[in-house]
A and B are shown apart, each in its own frame.
Chain A
Amino acid sequence: MAATVEARPPDKYVDVRTQELQINMGPQHPATHGVLRVAIWADGEIVTRAEPDIGYLHRCAEKIGESVTHIQYVPYTDRYDYLAAMNNNLGYCLAVEKLAELEIPERAEYVRVIVSELNRIASHLMAIGTYGLDLGAFTPFFYAFREREEILRILEWICGARLTYNFIRIGGVMRDCPEGWLEDITRFLDYFEPRLEEMNELLTHNHIFVNRTANIGVVSLEQAVKYGLTGPNLRGSGMRWDLRRDDPYSIYDRFEFDIPIGTGIKGTVGDCWDRYWVRILEMGESVRIIRQALDQIPDGEIMAKGVRHLAFKCKAGESYQAVENPRGELGYYLISEGGQISYRSRIRAPSFCHLSILEEILPGSMFGDAVAIIGSIDIVLGEVDR
């Protein structure tokens, strides 16, 4: 069912213009993926203006960063993007290690890559599953969660937590792989790869789904760059940009993988379907990276020598470290004056930037498509409000 949807002519809606009406969406709304309020002004069925209102989940992340030590702050980073806690841990630890000039043992680097990529798959499964749910496709959600459950089991096995891991620590990782853990990942990957095809049959080429996402919420490349979009949303607009390749951190320069981009298969480049499709393809690329990492992983230490966790001190300086989160570029900008506590810890959350584009792309779309557009940019409100 490779149906291609033609762009609808805008003049088709002229008849329904009536009187502008303000509609309140959220903060308690199942399709806003958290506590997000969007004030929408609609003229008939057409959105004329949209204003996201955030801050309902603000937990003073940056203020806390100025009052607890670097080591104590790692568990807090779990709570920002709680669907990809491993990647958040990794970003913060890399930022601190850059300041402290720590050398990370090889094995720890590989374990970090494996858990981060597993977490990326879990996060994309969540994004895809709930996106189908937003658009009324209930079944794919269960299939996505079945696979995600396996990943959570694997991650629980190594660190004991299912969502907020606190596994990647400053200087390495919390513990070495348990016996049989690496083999279990291979088994999972063998099981998971064919399941992607199942997801395509269920949702990707589903006629209703394509009709609700193709040509909807088109973000041109120019808009995407202007509004600071990163990650799958930027790639969905046709930009081949991935920090893992373009500004490699950790050991990502050792792996071979492609960077999928949106090409407008079902409609226009940069529409909701393209952003969704990039996530599906990215899961396959993550599988490739994990397989290579499993082949290459050496034996050895998992924690850098000389890291005194009770009295860990950073050297003075300031540094910006960005990592490719499942949602986009997650950056930590740390200012240290020496000592155990950051002078300033600024977080660049990808969802925060992505949300600001709603003001640009919602006007002109149908009111019913607002949910499809908000779902397609895949936001996590814990990260938006911090």
Chain B
Amino acid sequence: MNTQEILETLNKDGVGQGITLFEGPKDPALVIPADRLVGVCEHLKSAPSLQFDQCILVTGTHMTEIRDKKTKEVTRAEGIEVIYHVRSLRHRALVALKVHLSLEDPRVSSVASIWPAADWHERETYDMVGVVFEGHPNLKRILLPQDWEGFPLRKDYEFPKEYRGISLEVDPPWPQQ
């Protein structure tokens, strides 16, 4: 079962509104509107023809703006992308789901109630990229200290000068992106 077939199944079951197929140079993905994510995920898990019962990975990425070199048109708007990889053990299929969020207020509903495995992955995504998962049971930092400031995997992150009086300056300085 490939991503195209999964989209067709979703359309047939009547939950495919607004879902588009992202066809990158390599792995395809389904782009889902942020407000419909939970409904689609519930259907992916419960429908007998799909049965995506295992959440493999949740990734947050800060996508910077890309402009076409000649026309100066924006080909990719700046924002946060959250990517969910879910697997169907029965049908031996893996699908990537994408949600586009704004950089200023990245908010999306949590899927931890559907797949408990997403709990820690969402916490890590919050920790690193700053995505707020609404309805998450315990949304706090998981790898970094609770009083850490900023979200390190954002492209505009600036390395702190010190943490609790400990100097973090290095020589030569960290490369800034």
Contacts and interface: CB of A to CB of B under 8 A. Distances in A.
Interface of A: 54-55, 58, 60, 62-63, 66-67, 98-99, 225-228, 239, 241, 246-247, 315-320, 322, 329, 331, 333, 335, 343-344, 346, 348, 352-353, 355-356, 360, 385-386
Contacts of B25: 315-317
Contacts of B115: 226, 228
B31 interface: no
A360 B116 CA distance: 10
B77 to A, nearest CB: 15
Contacts of A355: 120
B57 A348 contact: yes
B174 to A, nearest CB: 8
B121 to A, nearest CB: 8
Given A98-B26, A335-B61, A344-B61, A225 B53 contact: yes
A226 B27 contact: no
Interface of B: 24-27, 53-57, 59, 61, 83, 85, 89, 92, 94, 96, 115-117, 119-121, 128, 141-145, 152-153, 175, 177
Contacts of B59: 333, 344, 346
Contacts of B141: 55
Contact of B57 (A239, A246, A317, A333): A333
B120, B121, B145: which has the most chain A beta carbons within 10 Å?
A: B120
Contacts of A356: 116-117, 119-120
A58 B143 contact: yes
Chain B facing A: main interface SS: loop
A331 B57 contact: yes
A58 B24 CA distance: 32
B143 A55 contact: yes
B89 to A, nearest CB: 6
Contacts of B57: 320, 331, 333, 346, 348
Contacts of B27: 317-320
A322 B89 CA distance: 14
The DSSP consensus for interface residues of chain A is mixed
Nearest to B145: A55
7 contacts: A55-B142, A62-B128, A62-B153, A315-B25, A331-B57, A353-B117, A356-B117
Contacts of A335: 61
The 3 A-B residue pairs whose C-beta atoms are closest, nearest first, are: A228-B117, A317-B25, A317-B26
A242 to B, nearest CB: 11
B35 to A, nearest CB: 24
Contacts of B83: 333
Contacts of A225: 53-54, 89
B67 to A, nearest CB: 13
Contacts of A246: 92
A217 B147 CA distance: 34
A99 B85 CA distance: 18
Given A60-B152, A225-B54, A54 B142 contact: yes
A246 B92 CA distance: 7
Given A55-B143, A333-B59, A66 B116 contact: no
Of B27, B116, B142, B143, the most chain A CB neighbours within 10 A belong to: B143
Nearest to B86: A228
A211 to B, nearest CB: 30
Contacts of B54: 225, 228
Contacts of A66: 153, 177
Nearest to B61: A344
Given A225-B89, A246-B92, A331 B26 contact: no
A55 B26 contact: no
Contact of A67 (B61, B143, B175): B175
B85 A320 contact: yes
Nearest to A352: B120
Residue of B59, B61, B177 with highest tally of chain A CB at under 10 A? B59
A291 B8 CA distance: 44
Contacts of B24: 317-318
A331 B142 CA distance: 20
A55 B120 contact: no
Contacts of A239: 89
Q: Which of A99, A333, A343 has the most CB of B within 10 A?
A: A333
- Residue of B55, B56, B96, B144 with most partner-chain A CB within 10 A: B56
B96 A320 contact: yes
Contacts of A344: 59, 61, 153
A261 to B, nearest CB: 13
A247 B94 contact: yes
A129 B26 CA distance: 42
Contacts of A329: 56
B164 to A, nearest CB: 15
Contact of B56 (A67, A99, A228, A319): A228
A67 B174 CA distance: 10
Contact of B144 (A58, A99, A352, A360): A58
A316 B25 CA distance: 7
Nearest to A65: B153
